[in-house]
Structures are given as structure tokens and as C-alpha cells.
Amino acid sequence: MEKIKVCLIGCGRAGMIHARSYAGNVKRAELIALCDPFEENLRLAREEIEVPCIYTDYREALKNSEIDAVVVVTPTKFHHDIVIAAAQAGKHVFCEKPMAESPRECDEMIEACRANGVKLQVGFMRRFDKNFRRGKELIDSGIIGQVTSLRSNTHGPSEPKEWMFDVRSSYGPIGEVNSHDFDTLRWYAGSEVKSLYAAGRNFRSPEMAEKYPEYYDTCQTILEFENGIIGTISGAQYVKYGYDSRAEILGTDGIIKVGTQHSDAVELSVSEQKNISDSVVSWKNLFADAYVAEANAFVDCILCGEEPAVTGHDGKMALLLVNAGLKSILEKRPVQISEMEE
């Protein structure tokens, strides 16, 4: 069986999720190299996953002609340079989201992959989650008639780190948690967004308000799609109750509800009229199978010569919408997406 030989670039929190997928769950791939400039991270990664090659510099890894594809999971600011160098070295590329720091960088990455004839897939793993996929299949089946409106929410439990309070660089929750929702709604709507309005406010960290007056931990976004569908997105950080990612699709003949806030299908009801069930703890648990499916899809598209299910264009558009959302929050006005492309 032909196998794609993979190098992981960036062995941190998300990188190791990909490493575990490629090391055990992707039959048509073999993880042969790990790369990370921080030797301690590299050591820990190699302790867990045995590979023949390790690198502290991605440029050295790219010289290895055995490597067919790279999985780029470094901090976002490095994605652009690494992806372009990988494409120029003839390696297929999987790049985590956010794809880059600006739509212009995304264009350059897309062009480099096109010019060098390599695949580029971006890490929106919800598209490979069985529940989110079922939602899309049901929309396409026409069972709820014409889609009228879409709702998607992501609420994350983690306490914000200091760098997240500066929303001009971190984007705040609209970038940190909602970039996946933007991608999901574009996918479900089958259309680009025409305009959006977003509002945000800091409720949970009032002690940071003086130093970071623009910080918000909660936001709501209303979107109008080019095909007339209306969407809303709810975003929040530091919600404490768990990781909560769900979507709803309202049609002329019915409704589809995707996902649940609970970690399993067991719910306990007790005598004080209380229902008790465990919350999902983290995106790592909720989307564990989706990460494996995403890796399999990447390898399959290389082997079969097909277009990836999540393209560089999808990565660019999600970034553009996050930028538009932050602009709307800061300027307190609706934003036309055409303004962002100028």
C-alpha cells in the first residue's frame, strides 16, 4: 500500500493531536519526522512518538526528499513562511487555522501551493465531525425545505491568557473561538457572507477593563449571506461550565439541531427536579474523532489527486470574516465584506 510520509512542524498542544492521529490512525500515512525549535518540546514529542527524523529547523526538514507532506501547527505568525517554503520544496501542506495573519498572506500561500502543484488543506475539523457532517447532509437532502437562518455557537471555558486581552492582536473570542463558526456557517449556507454586525462586551474580567478597554469576552454576530440566508453566531470565553459548540439550521419545513452541550447521552434526573449531566470539557474530547477523519481526508486527497474538502480559500474567508467582526465590534457599525477586500 502506498503511504504518504508526513512531517509534523510544531509539536505543541494541537500539534500532538495531529501526531497521534498520523502515528496510529491514518492507515495510508506514516509519520516519519517531527520538527520544533524548542528542544524540550521535541524531546517530549519523541518520547511519546518514535520517528526516524527530528529537526529543530523546518528548512532542514524540507530538504528531506522522503517527506511528501507537512502538517503545520506552529503559532499562527509562522504559518505563511513555512507553508510557502514547504510548497516550494514540493511538499503537500496541511495548515492549522487561523491560516495566516492577513488575507494577503493567505493569497500568497494559496498561490505558492497552486504554482508548485501541491495540495493545501486548512484545519477546520468541524467539517469532519460526524454530527456537523450529518447536519450538512440533511440540509442538502432538502428535508427541512429552504434554509432560512443559521445559528452557531462556541463558548470556551479557559481563563484568558494575558496576550488575549489585547484584541487588536488576539482578535478576542471572535477569532479565538468563532473562526470555526464562520467556516461552519459558510459551509452550511453554501454562500459567502455579504455583511455582518457584531457587538462585544467584557463581563467576566472587569478588573482588566482599565488596562484593556477594548477587551470583550462575549460577542454576538449577525450575518447576511449573499444568497439571502441570515446567520447568528454566539461567542464567549471563560464560560467555566464547559466547552460548548452547537449549531441550528432553520428551514421552511423544519429545523436541524447539531451537537449537544453534554459529554454523553446519559442524563440523570433527581428528586429536587434537577437534571444532571456532564459537560464537554474541551474541544480535544469533543472533536477527537474529527481530527482523525480530517487527517485521513488530507492523505486521501493527496493519493487520489482530489481537491481538499477545506481549501485555502475557506481559510482566507474565515480570516476575512474574523477581521470584519472585530472591525464591527470596535467601530460599532455593520461592515460590508466588500470593504475588507479593498
**In the complex, which residues of this chain contact ligand NAD (CB under 6 A)?**
9-15, 35-38, 41, 58, 73-76, 78, 96-98, 123, 125, 283
What the block records as the C-alpha cell of 147 is 434554509
CB of 15 to ligand NAD, least distance (A): 5
What the block records as the C-alpha cell of 105 is 498572506
CB of 188 to ligand NAD, least distance (A): 18
Output 44 or 199, the one with its CB closest to ligand NAD: 44
CB of 26 to ligand NAD, least distance (A): 17
CB of 175 to ligand NAD, least distance (A): 9
Distance of CA 219 to the CA centre of its chain: 18
Output 98 or 200, the one with its CB closest to ligand NAD: 98
Output 75 or 206, the one with its CB closest to ligand NAD: 75
Instruction: Tell me the residue nearest to ligand NAD as measured from the CB.
Output: 12
Spatial separation of the C-alpha atoms in residues 94 and 310, rounded to whole Å? 10
What the block records as the C-alpha cell of 322 is 474574523
Output 38 or 203, the one with its CB closest to ligand NAD: 38
Output 99 or 302, the one with its CB closest to ligand NAD: 99
Spatial separation of the C-alpha atoms in residues 183 and 310, rounded to whole Å? 9
CB of 58 to ligand NAD, least distance (A): 5
Paired with 249 in beta bridges are 150, 256
CB of 63 to ligand NAD, least distance (A): 15
Q: How far is CA 195 from CA 35, 51, 141, 224, 227, in A?
A: 40, 47, 27, 5, 12
Q: Long-range contacts for 136-140 (Cβ within 8 Å, ≥24 apart)?
A: 136/187, 136/188, 138/249, 138/256, 139/188, 139/249, 139/251, 139/256
Q: How many residues does the chain have?
A: 342
Spatial separation of the C-alpha atoms in residues 36 and 158, rounded to whole Å? 25
CB of 62 to ligand NAD, least distance (A): 11
Output 36 or 217, the one with its CB closest to ligand NAD: 36
Output 147 or 167, the one with its CB closest to ligand NAD: 167
**DSSP characters over 136-162:** HHHHHHTTT-SEEEEEEEEE--SPPPG
